[in-house]
């Protein structure tokens, strides 16, 4: 989206009820005009992604046709300020105000044409296209003076709605795209060098990986192209298929440059503002400040041994049980040998940066033999792949070509960390497999992410729950709804997803990944942060005493805030 002409258009166009819930008096409008001047004309009004399809020419416009074609595409959504990867965060779920297409038929414009209205929902009515720390400092001052809630948005790849809020001012960090590499990076105030890559807050993993490939290095990151590398992913923990042997994202953070709500532009690392560094390494995004850039550890390029076993059917219970039984029976030794990966009901993908091809084949013999057994039994589409990728980037390009997160759909996501004790005996393994099968029976999609840092002990200086270190699996499940779901149906979907993960909650300690957890996660302070939570509220109050930053189930959140009025 080309912003500058659009910015000018929306600053001159009066707000209308068709797409904006906020009615501004002349005085407040003048205050926003002053704010726009303070950020060099980069204040613009938020609008729904689908708004161009509601104009008189409707579906005949080129912009509308592009939106219909790309409605479910992750990078397209991440490039549009008013779009979110999970579409209910564009809506006000409590009132039904929204502007969504039918994700099963995006050519159908009935959901946004009369008598239905295209409404702003929970999309912030104003955004600042952030280009410098000064923009953020101005926004904090504006928020303090006028009690306007703030949200931080980069890509909108957020499952808990923390980057949208009705009546808010959004800090859009998406255009902070600078990347640089220093083979001897020294955090400010420190003396020990490390190879590091510095990422602007708007850099996405697709760009970071391409940069890493061009410099023959490895960056440990997420498995979706559109996810931001320096924002909520990193600050919430940041898991990867490489995390078993190379750590979580927070384990590899070397330095943050951040504007805190008191207006200060700070450097946080192991040698200065250490408490803030601790909080930013797992305390959650959108909570302690606005990160402008992050420097993360760069490792030498790794060769990945890869094993894939798959079959066509996604609902053959017997085949899924056999696959997951083999996985759980071998999970402890595979974790010790360096395997990470991803699995669902009909596929298991494992990668290893430590073993050579012969060692990998020997280690994975039980899974390979299972795949061959499926082939011998003529299971439809049974496939066994053993191959080598010369780098994480080359593996990611292959993986991302056919494994993409759900985009443009409203959904409830839940998660659970599965500890090593669940794999310790035949009885505990059987209990886990049954829990996984029950979860799958209750939701359309279950993923087993083998991405816990089970072989990477860390240094006890991050704020994520310590349960990450004693876990092997991170399991997620989702249930969704379409544009015309009722309020009760949405509630029921959240409840159904939560009930599905109860099958694993009952047999595991309280531990979940905050970025992919149940929106209504019970006991969330313990689940997300464990014993580390004790320090986090004090740090929050030190740097944000007025609570200018707040988000759903974040450290120090205030559930009665009007910014949460669209939650159910």
Judge contact between 111 and 100, C-beta under 8 A: yes
44 near 7, Cβ under 8 Å? yes
Please tell me the predicted confidence (pLDDT) of residue 59.
Answer: 72
Contact (CB, 8 A) for 147 and 563: no
What lies within 8 Å, CB to CB, of 402 at 6+ separation is none
Q: How many C-beta neighbours within 10 Å does residue 271 have?
A: 16
Task: Please indicate, yes or no, whether residues 384 and 406 belong to a single structural domain of this protein.
Answer: yes
Q: What range defines the domain where residue 112 resides?
A: 3-172
Among 172, 198, 233, residue at a domain's last position? 172
Encoding tokens for residue 466? 């310590």
Give yes or no for a contact between 515 and 247, defined as CB atoms under 8 angstroms apart.
no
Same domain, 75 and 133: yes
Other beta carbons less than 10 A from residue 27's beta carbon: 7
Is 203 in the same domain as 341?
A: no
Distance CA 298, CA 182 (A): 9
- Per residue in 107-120, pLDDT (tens digit) is 999 999 999 999 99
58 plus 135 within the same structural domain: yes
Q: Are 353 and 338 in contact (CB under 8 A)?
A: yes
Q: How many domains does the chain have?
A: 3
CA angle 302, 397, 181 (to 5 degrees): 55
- How far apart are the C-alpha atoms of 222 and 72, rounded to whole Å? 19
Q: What residues contact residue 224 under an 8 Å CB cut-off, 6+ apart?
A: 74, 157, 205, 400, 404, 405
- Taking the C-alpha atoms of residue 487 and residue 96, their distance in angstroms, rounded to an integer, is 7
- Asked if 433 contacts 321 with a C-beta cutoff of 8 angstroms, the reply is yes
**Domain stop point among 172, 202, 232:** 172
Average pLDDT of each block of 10 consecutive residues along the chain (568 residues)?
29 34 61 96 97 85 95 97 98 98 97 94 98 98 96 97 98 98 98 98 98 98 96 97 98 98 98 98 98 98 98 94 98 98 98 98 98 98 98 97 93 98 98 98 96 94 98 98 98 98 98 98 98 98 98 97 97
Last residue of a domain, one of 107, 139, 172: 172
Q: Tell me: do 140 and 7 sit in the same domain.
A: yes
Same domain, 291 and 389: no
Q: Does 420 lie in the same domain as 310?
A: yes
For residue 473, give the CATH number of its domain.
Answer: 3.40.462.20
Q: Are residues 46 and 188 in the same domain?
A: no
Give the CATH number of the domain where residue 195 resides.
3.30.465.10
Residues 348 and 474 occupy one common structural domain = yes
- pLDDT tens digits for 434-445? 999 999 999 999
Same domain, 146 and 290: no
Strands 194-200 and 290-297, sheet pairing: antiparallel
Same domain, 242 and 121: no
Whole-structure pTM value: 0.94
What's the pLDDT score for residue 85? 95
Q: What are phi and psi of 126, to 5 degrees?
A: -135, 145
Res 26: pLDDT = 60
Domain shared by 270 and 309, yes or no? no
Q: Which residues contact 145 (CB under 8 A, 6 or more apart)?
A: none
Angle at 125 between CA 122 and CA 126, to 5 degrees: 130
> What are the residues facing 257 on neighbouring strands?
267, 293
């Amino acid at each position: 989206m080309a912003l500058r002409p659009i910015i000018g258009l929306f600053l001159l166009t009066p707000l209308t009820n068709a797409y904006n819930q906020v009615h501004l008096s002349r005085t407040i409008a003048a205050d926003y005009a002053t704010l726009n001047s303070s950020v060099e004309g980069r204040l613009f009004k938020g609008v729904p992604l689908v708004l161009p399809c509601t104009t008189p020419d409707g579906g005949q416009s080129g912009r509308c046709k592009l939106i219909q074609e790309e409605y479910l595409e992750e990078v397209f959504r991440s490039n549009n300020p008013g779009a979110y990867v999970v579409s209910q965060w564009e809506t006000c779920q409590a009132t039904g105000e929204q502007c969504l297409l039918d994700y099963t038929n995006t050519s159908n414009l009935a959901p946004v044409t009369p008598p239905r209205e295209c409404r702003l929902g929970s999309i912030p009515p104003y955004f600042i296209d952030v280009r410098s720390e000064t923009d953020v400092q101005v926004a904090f001052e504006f928020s303090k003076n006028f009690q306007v809630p703030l949200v931080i948005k980069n890509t909108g790849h957020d499952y808990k709605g923390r980057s949208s809020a009705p009546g808010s001012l959004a800090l859009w960090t998406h255009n902070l795209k600078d990347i640089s590499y220093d083979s001897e990076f020294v955090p400010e105030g420190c003396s020990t060098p490390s190879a590091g890559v510095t990422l602007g807050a708007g850099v996405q993993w697709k760009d970071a990986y391409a940069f890493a490939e061009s410099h023959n290095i490895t960056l440990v990151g997420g498995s979706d192209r559109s996810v931001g590398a320096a924002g909520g992913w990193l600050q919430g923990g940041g898991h990867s298929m490489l995390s078993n042997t190379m750590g979580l994202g927070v384990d590899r953070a070397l330095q943050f440059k951040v504007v805190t709500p008191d207006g200060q532009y700070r450097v946080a690392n192991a040698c200065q503002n250490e408490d803030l560094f601790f909080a930013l390494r797992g305390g959650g995004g959108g909570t302690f400040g606005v990160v402008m850039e992050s420097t993360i550890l760069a490792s030498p390029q790794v060769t990945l041994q890869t094993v894939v076993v798959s079959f066509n059917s996604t609902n053959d219970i017997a085949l899924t049980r056999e696959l997951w039984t083999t996985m759980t029976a071998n999970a402890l030794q595979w974790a010790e040998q360096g395997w990470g990966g991803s699995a669902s009901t009909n596929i298991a993908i494992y990668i290893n940066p430590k073993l050579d091809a012969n060692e990998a084949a020997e280690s994975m013999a039980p899974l390979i033999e299972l795949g061959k057994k499926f082939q011998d039994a003529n299971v439809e589409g049974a496939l066994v792949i053993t191959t080598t990728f010369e780098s994480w980037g080359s593996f990611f390009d292959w993986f991302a070509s056919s494994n993409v997160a759900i985009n443009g759909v409203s959904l409830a996501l839940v998660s659970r960390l599965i500890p090593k004790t669940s794999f310790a005996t035949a009885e505990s393994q059987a209990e886990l497999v049954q829990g996984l099968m029950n979860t799958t029976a209750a939701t359309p999609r279950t993923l087993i992410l083998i991405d816990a840092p089970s072989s990477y002990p860390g240094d006890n200086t991050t704020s994520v729950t310590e349960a990450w270190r004693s876990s092997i699996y991170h399991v997620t499940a989702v249930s969704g709804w379409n544009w015309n779901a009722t309020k009760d149906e949405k509630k029921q979907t959240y409840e159904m997803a939560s009930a599905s993960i109860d099958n694993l909650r009952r047999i595991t300690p309280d531990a979940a990944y905050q970025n992919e957890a149940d929106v209504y996660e019970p006991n969330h302070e313990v689940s997300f942060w464990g014993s580390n939570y004790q320090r986090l509220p004090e740090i929050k109050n030190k740097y944000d005493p007025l609570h200018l930053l707040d988000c759903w189930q974040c450290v120090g959140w205030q559930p009665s805030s009007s910014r949460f009025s669209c939650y159910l």
